[in-house]
């Protein structure tokens, strides 16, 4: 394994020439650190679909970069023809995964950029799209750093936390969301112990979070998902902290399957349950968790992947939802780049993130 420098490392980014999307292939971790350089729209769609790039903020940055690259190659005589082709590429990328709102949010930002520049030459429109994709990437780094700043004081008196899936640097561009306060705690000399759920069926916790935190020198203990109740019951965990794929206007949170069970456990064992996410994950147009589309994935992920031989009978029914919804009432606080939002969420989320007269531009 290759040691990484947390401050120099961008999980997903356009190259300096704006001709390729450079990203870590997360399917190869922890055994190999492989960088992909993609330029074809289909390859970028595939990278999102297969979780080579994953995690809500990273998906947004990848989609923005992918659409900007596709736009560069559009041949058109005028803006209407360009825009029609651009919208086709946008819809295609949006179809890769349904739950993380960052994907659609980033694509909408590029659409707005195209429309704002429609009076200019197509060369200028294309350059503006590359610039916007880079801006989304840079803002993500800043947002995650601020999430770390806002979240770290909440953990200052704690010895240990539990996290689920991967909401770290790999899931964003730098720092991550739920793991950003942990990185800052470490920078400030606090030695937090981090329990990491392995996160069945795709093992984002075992493969990615455990690796990422170990690389950064944190004290990591990996557990199977069904061991969380035991470590909480033993009093080993002071708080649970996770990321989010979409936060509805009422504070319901869609995140990796298994998150809502942890929230129920945290409530039972009287431990705070924090969600950390940038404003780009907050969907004020989505009233509550019932309106969030939950991705369902292939049965093979449950029955075959990671095993040397199939571990379930052929022909068995399999239910494989990739996410679940944690009800707002189980969430102690939502840590964002603008501050920590506390209940009542409907009022407080909208007060912090609503922009009068238009959708939020963060
Ligand atoms: O299916 P994944 O691996 O993309 O799911 C990712 C998660 O659920 C993360 O917790 C979420 O995207 C937040 S990442 C900062």
List the beta bridge partners of residue 324. 255
Q: What share of the chain is helix, strand, coil (3-state, %, to 5)?
A: 45, 15, 40
Report which DSSP code applies to 76: -
Which residue's CA is the nearest one to ligand 1's atom 6? 55
Distance 181 CA to ligand 1 centre (A): 17
Radius of gyration for the alpha carbons in the chain, expressed in angstroms and rounded: 20
pLDDT surpassing 90 at residue 201: yes
pLDDT surpassing 90 at residue 8: no
Whether residue 56 has its Cβ less than 6 Å from ligand 1: yes
Report the pLDDT value the prediction gives residue 362, as an integer from 0 to 100: 46
Q: Which two tokens stand for residue 225?
A: 């998902």
Whether residue 289 has its Cβ less than 6 Å from ligand 1: no
Phi and psi of 317, rounded to 5°? -70, 140
Whether residue 278 has its Cβ less than 6 Å from ligand 1: no
Which DSSP helix (H) or strand (E) runs through 324? strand 323-326
Q: Where do we find the tokens 């995690």?
A: 55
What's the mean pLDDT when you consider all of the chain?
95
Among 226, 254, 260, 216, CA closest to 240: 260
Which pTM value belongs to this model? 0.95
Give residue limits of the domains in the chain: 12-145, 156-360
Concatenated DSSP letters of 240-301 = EEE--SEEETTS-EEEETTHHHHHHHHHHTT--EEEE--GGGEETTS-SGGGSPPPB--THH
Q: Where do we find the tokens 């179809």?
A: 95
Report the pLDDT value the prediction gives residue 50, as an integer from 0 to 100: 97
pLDDT greater at residue 361 or residue 298: 298
Over the stretch 311-321, which tens digit does the pLDDT of each residue have?
999 999 999 99
For the domain made up of 12-145, give the CATH fold: 1.20.120
Among 329, 360, 334, 362, CA closest to 348: 334
Over the stretch 25-72, which tens digit does the pLDDT of each residue have?
999 999 999 999 999 999 999 999 999 999 999 999 999 999 999 999
- Residue 245 annotated among the catalytic residues of the structure: yes
Report the pLDDT value the prediction gives residue 181, as an integer from 0 to 100: 98
275 burial level (CB within 10 Å; 0-12, 13-18, 19+):
buried
Over the stretch 122-139, which tens digit does the pLDDT of each residue have?
999 999 999 999 999 999
pLDDT surpassing 90 at residue 356: no
Distance 54 CA to ligand 1 centre (A): 6
228: CB partners within 8 A, 6+ apart: 162, 195, 197, 261, 262, 265
Catalytic residue among 138, 157, 219, 245: 245
Over the stretch 220-231, which tens digit does the pLDDT of each residue have?
999 999 999 999
Q: Are 334 and 341 contacting, i.e. CB atoms less than 8 angstroms apart?
A: yes
Distance 99 CA to ligand 1 centre (A): 10
Q: Pairing relation of β-strands 160-163 and 35-38?
A: unpaired
At residue 1 the predicted structure's pLDDT band, cuts being 50, 70 and 90, is: very low
For the segment 81-97, the average pLDDT, to the nearest whole number, is 98
Cα separations in angstroms, 84 against 78, 81, 108, 126: 10, 5, 15, 14
Could you say which architecture CATH assigns to the domain 156-360?
A: 3-Layer(aba) Sandwich (3.40)
Whether residue 256 has its Cβ less than 6 Å from ligand 1: yes
At residue 4 the predicted structure's pLDDT band, cuts being 50, 70 and 90, is: very low
pLDDT surpassing 50 at residue 358: no
pLDDT surpassing 50 at residue 3: no
Cα separations in angstroms, 78 against 67, 75, 113, 241: 18, 9, 16, 49
At residue 354 the predicted structure's pLDDT band, cuts being 50, 70 and 90, is: confident
pLDDT surpassing 60 at residue 143: yes
Angle between helices 79-94 and 101-116 in degrees, nearest 10: 170
Over the stretch 321-348, which tens digit does the pLDDT of each residue have?
999 999 999 999 999 999 999 999 999 9
pLDDT surpassing 50 at residue 6: no
């Amino acid at each position: 394994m290759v040691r990484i420098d947390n401050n120099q490392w961008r999980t997903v980014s356009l190259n300096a020439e704006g001709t390729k999307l450079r990203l870590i292939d997360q399917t190869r971790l922890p055994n190999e650190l492989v960088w992909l350089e993609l330029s074809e729209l289909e390859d970028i769609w595939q990278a999102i679909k297969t979780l080579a790039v994953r995690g809500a903020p990273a998906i947004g940055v990848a989609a923005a970069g992918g659409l900007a690259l596709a736009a560069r190659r559009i041949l058109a005589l005028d803006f209407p023809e360009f825009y029609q082709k651009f919208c086709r590429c946008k819809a295609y990328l949006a179809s890769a995964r349904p739950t993380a709102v960052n994907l659609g949010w980033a694509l909408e930002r590029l659409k707005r950029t195209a429309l704002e520049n429609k009076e200019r030459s197509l060369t200028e429109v294309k350059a503006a799209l590359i610039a916007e994709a880079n801006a989304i990437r840079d803002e993500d780094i800043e947002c995650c750093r601020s999430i770390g700043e806002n979240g770290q004081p909440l953990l200052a008196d704690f010895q240990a936390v539990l996290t689920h899936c991967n909401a770290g640097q790999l899931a964003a561009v730098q720092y991550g969301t739920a793991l950003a306060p942990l990185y800052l705690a470490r920078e400030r000399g606090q030695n937090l112990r981090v329990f990491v759920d392995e996160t069945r069926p795709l093992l984002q916790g075992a493969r990615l979070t455990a690796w990422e935190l170990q690389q950064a020198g944190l004290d990591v203990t990996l557990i199977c998902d069904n061991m969380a109740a035991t470590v909480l019951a033993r009093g080993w965990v002071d708080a649970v902290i996770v990321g989010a794929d979409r936060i509805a206007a009422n504070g319901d949170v869609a995140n990796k399957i298994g998150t809502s069970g942890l929230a129920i456990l945290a409530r039972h064992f009287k431990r705070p349950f924090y969600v950390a996410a940038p404003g780009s994950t907050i969907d004020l147009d989505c009233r509550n968790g019932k309106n969030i589309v939950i991705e369902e994935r292939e049965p093979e992920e449950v029955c075959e992947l990671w095993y040397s031989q199939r571990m379930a009978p052929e022909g068995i029914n399999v239910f494989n939802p990739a996410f679940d919804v944690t009800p707002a009432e189980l969430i102690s606080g939502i840590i964002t780049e603008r501050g920590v939002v506390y209940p009542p969420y409907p009022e407080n989320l909208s007060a912090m993130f609503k922009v009068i007269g238009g959708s939020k531009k963060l």
